A = this chain, B = another copy of it.
Amino acid sequence: MATSLHAHVVEHLGSRIVSGQIPRGSIILAAELEQKLQVSRSVIREAVRVLAQCGLVNSTKRVGIRVLSAEHWNPYDDHVIRWRLASDHKGAQLRSLTELRISVEPMAAELAAEVAPEEMRKELMLISAQMNHYGRQGDLRRFLELDIRFHALVLAASGNEMFANLATPVGAILRGRTELGLMPERPHEEALLWHQSVADAISNSDPAAARRNMESIMRRTHNEISSLWENEPRLFVDPGKTS
């Protein structure tokens, strides 16, 4: 996938910065990187430019490439999310994402019930039916993929592109929950019912019911995985950073 050379450099540096192997506040010199990674200046420069946009570094004249602290990272950047999920603070990233989806998905379901195009409503009905089937059968692999598709569909059907774009990290959460063994042997009957009800409500243009049932799903999902970040410290960003 990351076939291009500069993408490798981005990956190399980004993952090391997020994991903490390169401590914040460090100053890297472009010339060092050139010979350490055996690539040319242009590659370094483009990679640094990308990392700067992620908020990981900040290159200034006469001083070099400064590694920034976590509060400067762009928490919506796909790279950053991926690197954080692969780091020791995976829990903190999962918490942030989960709180975000708990906030967003009920609203997405409500909107979807109002504005979703017909074909999406139909596919939602189909998916939820399949979820019932494979869920009761205990086929967790298939269920997981359907679950991911279900939530991606609801987010997209809201017609809000900011919601739709959360499909990838939400999928990551769902995968994480299964991989870490936090799923029951087979999905709870209630959960299946709620998914079905969300699909029904969207299909029948019943925003209130769609929201209500999605909220139920969110409550359960939160209870199932909140143990993952019990001891993760929270990050309080300076609110004056922007103004």
Contact = CB atoms under 8 A, between A and B. Distances in A.
Contacts of A242: 152, 167-168, 171
Nearest to A41: B42
A71 interface: yes
Interface in A29-48: 42, 45-46
A120 interface: yes
8 contacts: A45-B46, A46-B49, A50-B50, A152-B243, A153-B239, A155-B239, A159-B236, A165-B237
A238 interface: yes
Oligomer: number of copies:
2
Contact of A49 (B50, B77, B158, B243): B50
A194 B238 CA distance: 24
A36 to B, nearest CB: 21
Contact of A75 (B111, B161, B243): B161
A227 interface: no
A86 interface: no
A243 B149 contact: yes
Most buried by B among A75, A117, A238: A75
A182 interface: no
Contact of A156 (B103, B107, B117, B238): B238
A58 to B, nearest CB: 12
B111 A99 contact: yes
Interface string A144-170: 010011001101111111111101100
Nearest to A71: B161
